[in-house]
Structure 1
């Protein structure tokens, strides 16, 4: 179920990044050819990229694509490599949990604030932190049960 959700999310993120590229292109055209820059695109792109990173990190966790110290796993005996993998997963789970807690705290701190150009509540922007961290934590827990395949790095779908 998590993998199906991740696949749908990956498609949505790919489409969103394509849209962001078009918006960036439109901003360049408006600024340099028309002499009238769009006031909202830069802020929208910035916030959408933040959301894309936080939503996408869970997928990278599940596919085993986060930066890892493969040299250590390759040089130590397999039993020690498994122990180090479990330690790494535990540290990751703690990290995502801390981000969830502090992301929630940040939401309280930015209550009532609005963005400069778009005038959207900043809580919408900052909610990417706890939501993305929840997705990453879920994917980390799934990896503990069903580790990614060795060729998963090559299969970005």
Structure 2
């Protein structure tokens, strides 16, 4: 139940981000080629939105188990061994997400916040931009723990 609601929220947020990206890029093309004076913030906004849609999209796809996987060995194993291997793989994903995305991403957010770094054109705190890294890690961890819990 929580997973379905999270999927809906995440997919709606991704659609909104993509819509804003389309409008942003159209505005950039309009100001550059029609008006003749390119907008100063559109490149930066498109870059940051692409980061958010890429990372949150990875979490969404991970939650739907639609990510790229190499499963040459798994079908040849016994069902009990397949389950054990799946638990090992999911555990490794959880560990990676925890250490790389949650801990590493949180440190990046903290450092950029403490240093007061802002983006050049939007004057947006970079900590807000980088906040998507630990958020993505937490989402993937949730999905993978739920996958382990729901293994047959």
TM-score, normalised on structure 1?
0.86
The 1-side partners of 2:80 and 2:104 are apart by 35
Residues 24 and 45 of structure 2 are in contact (CA less than 8 Å); yes or no, is this contact kept in structure 1?
A: no
Shift of 1:32: 1.9
Report matched runs for 1:4-83 at 5 Å.
Answer: 4-83=5-84
Instruction: Name which of 117, 122, 138 aligns with 2:121.
Output: 117
Cα deviation per residue 1:21-46 (whole Å; 9 max; x = unaligned)? 12112211211222111111111111
TM-score, normalised on structure 2?
0.89
Residues 105 and 131 of structure 2 are in contact (CA less than 8 Å); yes or no, is this contact kept in structure 1?
A: yes
Deviates more, 1:38-47 or 1:65-74: 65-74
The 2-side partners of 1:3 and 1:108 are apart by 31
Report matched runs for 1:66-145 at 5 Å.
Answer: 66-98=67-99, 99-111=101-113, 112-145=116-149
SS in 2 for 1:71: coil
Cα deviation per residue 1:77-128 (whole Å; 9 max; x = unaligned)? 3222222111110000001101201111111221200101101111111111
Aligned to 1:151: none
The 2-side partners of 1:117 and 1:72 are apart by 50
The 1-side partners of 2:54 and 2:4 are apart by 18
Residues 89 and 140 of structure 1 are in contact (CA less than 8 Å); yes or no, is this contact kept in structure 2?
A: yes
The 1-side partners of 2:28 and 2:66 are apart by 32
Q: What is the RMSD computed on CA atoms of the aligned residues?
A: 1.5
Structure having the larger proportion of residues in helix: 2
Structure 2 residue runs without a partner (length 5+)? none
The 1-side partners of 2:5 and 2:108 are apart by 30
Deviates more, 1:19-28 or 1:116-125: 19-28
- Assess, with a 3 A threshold, how the Cα gap between structure 1 residues 146 and 62 changes in structure 2: closer, same or farther: farther
The 2-side partners of 1:110 and 1:17 are apart by 26
